[in-house]
Amino acid sequence: MDLVLVGRVAKAHGITGELAVDVRTDSPERRFALDAVVTARVRGAADRALTVTAVREHSGRLLVRFAEVPDRTAAEGLRGALLLADPADLPAIDDPDEFYDHELEGLAARLRDGTEIGTVREIGHSPAGELLVVDRPDGTEVLVPFVRQIVPEVDVRAGYVLLDPPEGLIE
């Protein structure tokens, strides 16, 4: 089962096992609702299920308590953990111009003339907006601003994004 990223543990908060979480989902109220289960993935360790027991907002992050994290020591062990969830649990998107990251990852990136320039590896999120991270066949990557002027068409079913880049963006 392919899981999708919904958050990343930034650090332990306090002494009771609470975790500061950077949210990576458009529906945090659903993903981090009481009794919701997420999968924690820590480099070098086995994935583990975590059950939400409390959640509150604090300084642009969520502070989350999990049943399986009883104290600060356990919380420190989760620093940097990716919090993942099953994409089947995601609500449907009504806007045809919005997509979940996992829907775009793996799509072919091609120019208007049909030339394939690579594959969308991931979606970069920044304060300035989203970027398609495209892996090129030669092993390089190109960052493409995910705006309608540059990415005029996305066809998830057909498996591609159409790019109309300004001069110099792809070279």
d(CA 33, CA 58): 16
Report the number of distinct structural domains present in the chain: 2
pLDDT reported for residue 158: 94
Which among 152, 151, 150 is positioned nearest to 166, based on CA atoms? 150
pTM reported for the whole predicted model: 0.65
Which among 11, 7, 10 is positioned nearest to 31, based on CA atoms? 7
d(CA 21, CA 28): 11
- Residue pair 132/144 in contact (Cβ under 8 Å)? The answer is yes
Assign 122 to helix, strand or coil.
Answer: strand
**What are the pLDDT digits (tens) for 55-94?**
999 988 999 999 999 999 999 999 999 999 888 777 777 7
89, 113, 131 — which closes off a domain? 89
Note whether 67 and 112 are same-domain residues.
no
Full residue range of the structural domain in which residue 8 is found? 4-89
| High-pLDDT (> 90) share of the chain, % | 67
pLDDT reported for residue 125: 77
68, 89, 110 — which closes off a domain? 89
CATH number at residue 60: 2.40.30.60
pLDDT reported for residue 83: 95
Residue 1 has pLDDT above 70, yes or no: no
pLDDT band at 10 (very low <50, low <70, confident <90, very high): very high
d(CA 147, CA 126): 13
pLDDT band at 103 (very low <50, low <70, confident <90, very high): confident
pLDDT reported for residue 97: 79
E strand map for the chain: 4-13, 18-23, 37-41, 48-58, 61-66, 82-85, 108-111, 116-126, 129-135, 141-145, 153-155, 160-163
Q: What angle do CA 60, 102, 149 make, to 5 degrees?
A: 85
89, 124, 140 — which closes off a domain? 89
pLDDT band at 4 (very low <50, low <70, confident <90, very high): confident
Residue in the structure block whose two tokens are 């540059």? 150
